[in-house]
Structure 1
């Protein structure tokens, strides 16, 4: 439609302008291919940087103990520097696109009006500014919309390939079935086990015939792979997995609350004494990985979680290793032994504490992935080194300490934990401090660099407006005056100058803001790295990773593009107002009602959109935290068959984040429609 309308105005000269316009399309495709390569490299370096930061957050106590901060700081800085180089290459392509976008209208105008001038046509103000209006309609979709779409398409392709790697992972859906329909029985005949088909066999030629309700002891030297005899039932891992939440939530583990059963489990796992020491009792919030609990307390919470689960087979992977001997004896007696609360269930205890050997119904001795001997406790005590270890542990066993745990002296009704070590993430109100913006732009070259940037922005707009003004002067001349070459040469020089200055200022702007973003990243990382352990204990890993991943990506890639587009549009509007005021000052009277309405809408929009954007960031952190925590406790989640519950929780958090993101997008559309109506 635009082609036809311009053709009616100047005829064949339209082809010159469209020729320049069509040259931009293959140019964008070339840029897209290069941008895809740079984006792929950027993602790889970002992954490496975030991975190192994640390892620092997970192992913060070790890092502090051995004073590895400086060495790890250099590793992260090197990864950030490589990431910066990759982003810088991509930003150059963005700068070229932004420069072409800004200078596209003068370039196309040069081709159209230059071709018309060469063909001997007379330039009139009516034709020129009508054509400029039509070409302005083509400017956004071809020079702004198309590059943006191609860039996002490249990012989407890379992201989809990365996601597809996870989507194609093997999913284990088979369930173990009880032999002969008798629940609690375990029968194996020459069974061998390995982690994957490409790895060596960990357990070889295992023969087992365990009847329901038996207590089985599995012992052996360290590294004999005894921990691999696992059935997907109720499981206590050797390293307790604790997620961020209350003690009760960790014990119930997505199950319904039965107060009587819950109290029995607390007593058996020796937790009453600990709960009475907390103001909030079992509503005390445990930090991620149980940072505010001792190793013994975490082991007993993990044990209570298993005891609360109604299962036919219970596997205890050396849970007594983390507690002292006296507590271990009481836990064994009240939980695991044939006098415990699950005495009718099949129990497999993997342990090094063979002082309980005589309590087992059946014993299995593993050595180098094979059963060396199995039978009654007396059969194993006939082995010299087993008998010697048994006598040694019996000699060193302390007397059982008296603990006054009673069901009657504990109430499950507790007050909410108001002194939780885990602090809720809150959204900060108000605008971004001017100091933050000044640091962002001055941290690279100081205030001189910022002043030079302002100069480039103003000189670019000045040349752009001068180009249009010169075109107006050229068209106002008599036909014979228009044929003079000086008008065409000046116009050509102004268009080339507009294009060059637009490229320089866009590239300099992106470089300046990227340097500032890297400096802010390094300061943020240094603050996190050298802070006290209280920070790590009160903030989940996912929350901190959200700052170094998604938020940092927004500063690196989204902020420069959006900020540059905003400043450029603002300067172009001001330049247009100046040109219009010079031509007809009375037209500016329309600004008297428009400007107050604009600022009122802007104030209303910014308050809403700023809050929604911060809400979107706050609701994103729990997603990272849940993913990090779930991966650490994947074995426990699968053992308890809680995959669907955690998936539903994950979907709920995704939906909460999506709602905030959707509303943020709606506010932008709301503001845009009202500006169009104005």
Structure 2
């Protein structure tokens, strides 16, 4: 820029003489413009990212929200759950998943919802919670609600914190809940008992343990209404019998609560107050166990389907139900049973798909299939804090303080390549040298204005101009060279660091993932690598360039 400006000035008119006043004032103005022009591309890039981010935030903020008017909460102590001609979908644009649902759930009753996979059982509970979009109908839920989902929601905290869930810790009540939910023996196995920290997403608990912890949390909350979405699916028959008898059933801890139970366990259906049969998002039958069994309708078909799929794994209680079914249906039992079995065999692919969907909807015994916690818990009493630290699974990430050790820089420069680092220093040195020579040459050129003979000598002027051009071109060349070498060196170092991290992560023991949150791992591979790719490159270039610029300024002065 300086060369083009000076060249235009002296060549446009032979009377224009470049003196020190014009030359160095012009250079000062060029230096003032240098930083804004250098930052202009960054401003454009950040501006584009800003616009994209604003659009994303606006799209999120303008998205559909849960309508608080979907569920009414009018006082109705005798019938706390009322639904009239309800039609629901997952969003405004989706087709309805529940159609014409009408039901009345009486206070302190136990209602079971049954049906084939995909019939809308979980969707009905979601509709009562207000998570579905209501197309039409009336819904009223009166009382405090506790919800136990299919996939247990576990926090990265101790077992006690997961169960009390910000509620005051009452030892007698707490122990009763543990006993009822069959967790006493499990806590004896854990190193720290109920003060053992559960890993991220309940990673060190089995699927059945997670489901029982989720159920215990709901029981401890002492709510008025309980929505139980197949909580017995992740436990074996013996434990499910214990949970039903001690918690859910007519003699359990929740016997004075309103309970809506989604289940595939036909064993407990004779003990419930009412059964609702769903099919294709509609209620096909509704009544007591014996009433529905006498009808020989969809409920009997559901039991036959269960027998045909589980005939080799039936429990003793299930066999009693089968005998009752035979008595009610008589010879038709074998006839309809054979039809169901033939349909099952002919539609084996559909059966596999249904079982796969059912397993996917159940809590997995594998690690990491539960929802991550997004809330904070109240602090434990002082008497438990000291013991809790002994059984802490995930350590709190601590930021390093103080100066960065020189060994860290050395390892980074080795990753970038020592040869490349030396070439960058050499290129910066040569670039600064030519910059200094350009300033010295410009000083000599401006001194010609003091000599009238030299000031009017066009040959000398052209020589001055040509040499200044050569010095400026050399400076530009080495500046471009050091930028290219530096960018490739930093990119090489960042790629090598990323490959080493990935290599270590793939070969890390499973205990590492038990004690390290996934967010912390993602942060290493995103934010930290971005610092190595972008921020570190900018800071190193700025450090080297400003250092050499300071040296040149000192020498020139």
Give the structure-1-normalised TM-score: 0.62
2:7 and 2:465 in contact (8 A); partners too: no
Total equivalences in the alignment? 460
1:220 and 1:365 in contact (8 A); partners too: yes
Q: Does residue 424 of structure 1 match 2:396?
A: yes
1:514 equivalent in structure 2: 491
1:564 equivalent in structure 2: 541
1:198 equivalent in structure 2: 93
1:348 equivalent in structure 2: 260
2:160 and 2:195 in contact (8 A); partners too: yes
Name the CA distance, whole Å, in 2 between partners of 1:332 and 1:285: 27
Name the CA distance, whole Å, in 1 between partners of 2:29 and 2:96: 73
2:423 equivalent in structure 1: 452
- Structure 1: 5+ residue stretches without partners: 1-106, 399-410, 581-678
CA shift in 2, pair 1:563/1:164, >3 Å: farther
Could you say what secondary structure the match of 1:204 adopts? Answer: strand
2:197 and 2:393 in contact (8 A); partners too: yes
CA shift in 2, pair 1:526/1:479, >3 Å: farther
Alignment RMSD: 3.0
CA shift in 2, pair 1:331/1:184, >3 Å: farther
Please give the residue correspondences for 1:602-641 in structure 2 after superposition, counting only pairs within 5 Å. none
CA shift in 2, pair 1:427/1:115, >3 Å: same
Name the CA distance, whole Å, in 2 between partners of 1:109 and 1:386: 90
Q: Does residue 154 of structure 1 match 2:48?
A: yes
Could you say what secondary structure the match of 1:355 adopts? Answer: helix
CA drift of 1:185 comes to 2.4
Name the CA distance, whole Å, in 1 between partners of 2:303 and 2:3: 97
Name the CA distance, whole Å, in 2 between partners of 1:238 and 1:201: 22
Name the CA distance, whole Å, in 2 between partners of 1:504 and 1:275: 65
Q: Does residue 476 of structure 1 match 2:443?
A: no
CA drift of 1:564 comes to 1.0
Could you say what secondary structure the match of 2:223 adopts? Answer: coil
Q: Does residue 301 of structure 1 match 2:179?
A: no
Name the CA distance, whole Å, in 2 between partners of 1:497 and 1:266: 80
1:325 and 1:397 in contact (8 A); partners too: no
Q: What per-residue deviation string (whole Å, max 9, x for no partner) do you get for residues 104-143 of structure 1? A: xxx2465157515754344444554455445434433x32
1:439 and 1:516 in contact (8 A); partners too: no
Q: What per-residue deviation string (whole Å, max 9, x for no partner) do you get for residues 236-262 of structure 1? A: 111111121122222233344444433
Q: What per-residue deviation string (whole Å, max 9, x for no partner) do you get for residues 10-43 of structure 1? A: xxxxxxxxxxxxxxxxxxxxxxxxxxxxxxxxxx
1:541 equivalent in structure 2: 518
Name the CA distance, whole Å, in 1 between partners of 2:259 and 2:41: 64
2:420 and 2:486 in contact (8 A); partners too: no
CA shift in 2, pair 1:166/1:496, >3 Å: same
Name the CA distance, whole Å, in 1 between partners of 2:149 and 2:215: 9
CA shift in 2, pair 1:181/1:116, >3 Å: farther
Name the CA distance, whole Å, in 2 between partners of 1:379 and 1:334: 26
1:578 equivalent in structure 2: 555
* Matching residue within 71, 76, 82 for 1:187: 82
Name the CA distance, whole Å, in 1 between partners of 2:430 and 2:414: 20
CA drift of 1:558 comes to 1.8
Could you say what secondary structure the match of 2:388 adopts? Answer: coil
2:276 equivalent in structure 1: 364
Q: What per-residue deviation string (whole Å, max 9, x for no partner) do you get for residues 554-597 of structure 1? A: 222222122211211111112222333xxxxxxxxxxxxxxxxx
Could you say what secondary structure the match of 2:60 adopts? Answer: helix
Please give the residue correspondences for 1:306-345 in structure 2 after superposition, counting only pairs within 5 Å. 306-345=218-257
CA shift in 2, pair 1:188/1:412, >3 Å: farther
CA shift in 2, pair 1:202/1:127, >3 Å: closer
Name the CA distance, whole Å, in 1 between partners of 2:122 and 2:261: 10
CA drift of 1:525 comes to 2.1
Name the CA distance, whole Å, in 1 between partners of 2:232 and 2:171: 26
Name the CA distance, whole Å, in 2 between partners of 1:326 and 1:296: 12
- Structure 2: 5+ residue stretches without partners: 130-144, 320-380
Please give the residue correspondences for 1:136-535 in structure 2 after superposition, counting only pairs within 5 Å. 136-140=31-35, 142-175=36-69, 176-178=71-73, 181-182=76-77, 185-230=80-125, 231-232=128-129, 233-382=145-294, 383=296, 384=300, 393-395=314-316, 414=384, 415-429=387-401, 431-432=403-404, 437=409, 440-441=412-413, 443=415, 446-477=417-448, 478-482=451-455, 483=457, 484=460, 485-535=462-512
CA drift of 1:345 comes to 1.7
Name the CA distance, whole Å, in 1 between partners of 2:439 and 2:78: 86
Could you say what secondary structure the match of 2:400 adopts? Answer: coil
CA drift of 1:156 comes to 1.9
1:362 and 1:376 in contact (8 A); partners too: yes
CA shift in 2, pair 1:358/1:393, >3 Å: farther
CA drift of 1:354 comes to 1.1
CA drift of 1:145 comes to 4.5
Name the CA distance, whole Å, in 1 between partners of 2:159 and 2:521: 23
Structure number with larger C-alpha Rg: 2
CA drift of 1:437 comes to 4.3
Could you say what secondary structure the match of 2:56 adopts? Answer: helix
Give the structure-2-normalised TM-score: 0.75
CA shift in 2, pair 1:118/1:378, >3 Å: same
Name the CA distance, whole Å, in 2 between partners of 1:428 and 1:523: 21
Could you say what secondary structure the match of 2:483 adopts? Answer: helix
Name the CA distance, whole Å, in 2 between partners of 1:471 and 1:256: 81
2:195 and 2:391 in contact (8 A); partners too: no
1:74 equivalent in structure 2: none
